[in-house]
């Protein structure tokens, strides 16, 4: 099996360290140890055994997630980030020749991973014209006898648009009629402007998430799956073939933060995100000839449209080379004519980065509009 290249990751890997204005990462700034300790008053004791692991995930984290999702521990699989969570779901539910339906634009691993496993992709468009909303009628026509899974993100990566519980329920019902499951990646959900419920609870819905984006714990890389028991068991069994157990230290630290300070870190997130969204909105309103957008309903990313007749990779290379502004090409989310712009960075970097982006785009005014 050949692992397909994930362009988005390679792009970030090659450019992030030399960008002056990084408007490409999708996480909030990380918590320092000092902040973490202040929030949780948790320190590893000197006698703590660093050789210890819990095969089925740290009971502290599972208990915390059990309470957050109002489920049993048998519904939970702890993972190394949402990356492993999604991998375990795909590899547990899809076999060669199966079909999966996936939102487009979307986050590349959500189709490259299942395709790598031999499953067939069916694209489910979420259009700019329809404000990136989920289109139920379009979905209904995509099922075949081979469809096993419907894949979406909530909030939507790349647009930051929220899909409400009624819509997810309707998606789940359509999928249920076709004996298919629905995977909802909720990694950005706790970053919604107003608190939103998880979609876990419907009989054929699985959710994945992690503490890497909203909570500032990317380095700990703790994630999870919450799924109907039988599916959780299959994912847990599959985990023996990936990481076995995830880092126990990461899991107990993540558990402590979620237990002692979840609301506080969510407020920390909202404070930064609200300030930056206001900066971005003002800039968007002043520059409608450069970018037009669907306003995100939280999170840290949006997916504005540009009107120049230029491939998004060329545009982003130009912005990087001339202005040192790093944004992500729409092509890496399978949508030309867009860029993914993130606003989780320091506010001053965002403000200056947007000004540099405007100059970079204006320098291309000789390029024909689409």
By the rule CB under 6 A, 153 interacts with ligand PLP:
yes
Nearer to ligand PLP, 153 or 159 (CB): 153
By the rule CB under 6 A, 210 interacts with ligand PLP:
yes
DSSP string, 167-200: HHHHHHHHHHHTT-EEEEE-TTGGGBSS----SB
| β-pair type (181-185, 222-226) | unpaired
With contacts defined by CB under 6 A, name the span among 64-72, 78-86, 259-267, 310-318 that binds ligand PLP: 78-86
Contact set for ligand PLP, span 182-201 (CB under 6 A): 185, 187
State which of residues 75, 157, 198, 342 lies at the interface with ligand PLP (CB under 6 A): 157
Nearer to ligand PLP, 246 or 312 (CB): 246
State which of residues 21, 107, 143, 338 lies at the interface with ligand PLP (CB under 6 A): 107
Cα angle 72, 204, 202 (rounded to 5 degrees) comes to: 60
Residues 57/245, Cβ–Cβ less than 8 Å: yes
DSSP string, 328-348: EEGGGGT-TTBEEEE--S-HH
By the rule CB under 6 A, 26 interacts with ligand PLP:
yes
Q: Could you tell me the smallest distance in angstroms from the CB atom of residue 116 to ligand PLP?
A: 16
Question: What is the number of alpha carbons within 13 Å of residue 144 lying toward its C-beta?
Answer: 10
By the rule CB under 6 A, 159 interacts with ligand PLP:
no
State which of residues 199, 212, 334, 342 lies at the interface with ligand PLP (CB under 6 A): 212
Q: Could you tell me the smallest distance in angstroms from the CB atom of residue 84 to ligand PLP?
A: 7
Q: Could you tell me the smallest distance in angstroms from the CB atom of residue 186 to ligand PLP?
A: 9
Mask of contacts with ligand PLP, 264-293, x by CB under 6 A? ------------------------------
Contact set for ligand PLP, span 217-246 (CB under 6 A): 223
| C-alpha Rg value of the chain to the nearest Å | 20
Q: Could you tell me the smallest distance in angstroms from the CB atom of residue 243 to ligand PLP?
A: 12
Helix residue ranges per DSSP H, 16-135: 33-40, 59-69, 81-93, 109-116
Count of residues of this chain found to bind ligand PLP when the rule CB under 6 A is applied: 12
- Exposed e or buried b per residue across 210-232, where buried means at least 16 C-beta atoms within 10 angstroms of its C-beta: bbbbbbbbbebbbbbbbbbeebb
SS3 124: strand
By the rule CB under 6 A, 319 interacts with ligand PLP:
no
Residues 361/351, Cβ–Cβ less than 8 Å: no
Binding site for ligand PLP (CB under 6 A): 26, 81-83, 107, 153, 157, 185, 187, 210, 212, 223
């Amino acid at each position: 099996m050949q692992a397909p290249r994930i362009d988005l990751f390679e792009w970030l890997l090659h450019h992030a360290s030399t960008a002056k204005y990084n408007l490409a990462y999708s996480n909030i700034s990380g918590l320092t140890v000092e902040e973490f300790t202040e929030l949780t008053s948790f320190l590893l004791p000197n006698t703590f055994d660093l050789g210890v692991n819990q095969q089925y995930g740290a009971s502290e984290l599972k208990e915390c997630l059990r309470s957050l999702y109002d489920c049993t521990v048998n519904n939970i699989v702890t993972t190394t980030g949402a990356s492993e969570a999604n991998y375990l779901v795909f590899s547990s539910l899809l076999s060669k020749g199966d079909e999966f339906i996936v939102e487009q634009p979307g986050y590349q691993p959500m189709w490259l991973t299942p395709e790598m496993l031999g499953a067939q992709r069916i694209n489910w468009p979420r259009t700019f014209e329809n404000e990136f909303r989920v289109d139920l009628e379009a979905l209904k026509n995509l099922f075949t006898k081979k469809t096993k899974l419907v894949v979406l993100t909530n909030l939507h990566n790349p647009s930051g648009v929220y899909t409400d519980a009624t819509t997810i329920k309707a998606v789940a019902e359509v999928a249920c009629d076709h004996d298919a499951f629905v995977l909802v990646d909720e990694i950005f959900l706790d970053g919604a402007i107003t608190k939103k419920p998880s979609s876990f609870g419907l009989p054929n819905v699985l959710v994945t998430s992690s503490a890497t984006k909203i909570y500032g714990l990317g380095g700990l890389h703790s994630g999870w799956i919450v799924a109907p028991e039988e599916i959780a068991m299959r994912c847990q069994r599959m985990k023996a073939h990936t990481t076995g157990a995830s880092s126990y230290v990461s899991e107990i630290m993540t558990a402590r933060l979620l237990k002692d300070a979840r609301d506080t870190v969510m407020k920390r997130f909202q404070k930064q995100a609200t300030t930056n969204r206001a900066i971005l909105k003002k800039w968007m309103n002043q520059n409608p000839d450069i970018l037009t957008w669907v306003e995100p309903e939280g999170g840290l990313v949006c997916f504005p449209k540009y009107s120049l007749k230029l491939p998004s990779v060329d545009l982003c290379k130009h912005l990087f080379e001339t202005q040192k502004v790093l944004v992500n090409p729409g092509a890496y989310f399978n949508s030309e004519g867009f860029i993914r712009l993130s606003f989780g960075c320091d506010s001053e970097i965002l403000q200056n980065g947007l000004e540099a982006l405007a100059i970079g785009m204006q320098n291309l005014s000789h390029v024909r509009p689409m």
